[in-house]
């Protein structure tokens, strides 16, 4: 399984295990960033955001929705992913961000990890070992804001985004949540 798939599945698993998600409008995650913001951070043109909202198992046997948007960055074979859902009361954003199936799978593959916390925001940069064929660099930041769990992830086989660059995108996304 690719690092991209592991990361997306890990994000979805974290949202699902957090006990449910907010009810919002389809495609809402694509309204949290604009292409020019992504281009300013990545240094190259991005494609338009594509909504990929997904239903996942939620609490009490109900289906919940994870709001996801993908922005492709063809020149870097990269993408930016924004995910958003409800942050259940009493849940710790940092625990959800640090302990999920996607991050655990990368750790098991011996990716090196750099993590930093900014209050309730957690960011991690994962770098594949040289032995990992098809490995992806991944930087992700997750925050709790206005009752929502919001994550911005950058993935590329060649380029790395710093934690500060990824956090700047997260801050812009969080600033647009109503």
Evaluate if residue 15 carries a pLDDT over 70.
Answer: no
Q: Between the CA atoms of 176, 82, 36 and 165, what dihedral angle is there, to the nearest 10 degrees? A: 100
For residues 131 and 45, membership in a common domain is answered with: no
pLDDT of residue 12: 44
Sign of CA pseudo-dihedral 168, 171, 175, 178: positive
Range of the domain at 101: 1-18+87-137
Rounded to whole angstroms, how far apart are CA atoms 58 and 136? 29
* Alpha helices, H only, 30-162: 35-42, 93-98, 101-108
Contact 97, 14 (CB under 8 A): yes
Asked if residue 9 is part of any domain, the answer here is: yes
pLDDT (0 to 100) of residue 102: 81
Is residue 108 assigned to a domain? Answer: yes
pLDDT of residue 162: 95
Q: What is the pLDDT of residues 23-64, one digit of tens each?
A: 357 788 999 999 999 999 999 899 899 999 888 776 666 777
- Is the residue at 132 inside a domain? yes
For the chain, the straight-line distance linking the first and the last C-alpha, in angstroms and rounded, comes to 36
Pick the last residue of a domain from 56, 78, 100: 78
Q: Which of 32, 47, 78 is the last residue of a domain?
A: 78
Mean pLDDT on 144-169: 92
Structurally, the chain folds into a number of domains equal to 2
In a domain, 155, yes or no: no
Average pLDDT over all residues of the chain: 82
Q: What is the pLDDT of residues 82-95, one digit of tens each?
A: 999 877 667 777 77
Give the residue ranges of DSSP H helices in 18-160. 35-42, 93-98, 101-108
Show which of 55, 78, 101 is a domain's final residue: 78
């Amino acid at each position: 399984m690719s690092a991209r798939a592991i990361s997306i599945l890990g994000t979805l698993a974290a949202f699902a295990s957090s006990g449910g998600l907010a009810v919002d409008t389809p495609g809402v995650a694509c309204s949290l960033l604009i292409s020019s913001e992504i281009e300013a951070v990545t240094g190259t043109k991005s494609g338009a955001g594509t909504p990929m909202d997904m239903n996942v198992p939620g609490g009490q046997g109900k289906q919940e929705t994870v709001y996801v948007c993908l922005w492709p960055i063809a020149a870097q074979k990269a993408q930016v992913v924004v995910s958003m859902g409800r942050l259940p009361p009493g849940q710790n954003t940092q625990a959800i961000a640090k302990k999920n199936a996607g991050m655990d799978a990368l750790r098991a593959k011996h990716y090196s990890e750099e993590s930093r916390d900014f209050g309730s925001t957690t960011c991690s940069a994962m770098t594949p070992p040289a032995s990992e064929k098809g490995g992806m660099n991944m930087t992700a930041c997750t925050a709790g804001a206005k009752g929502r769990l919001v994550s911005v992830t950058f993935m590329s086989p060649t380029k790395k985004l710093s934690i500060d660059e990824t956090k700047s995108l997260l801050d812009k996304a969080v600033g647009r949540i109503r």
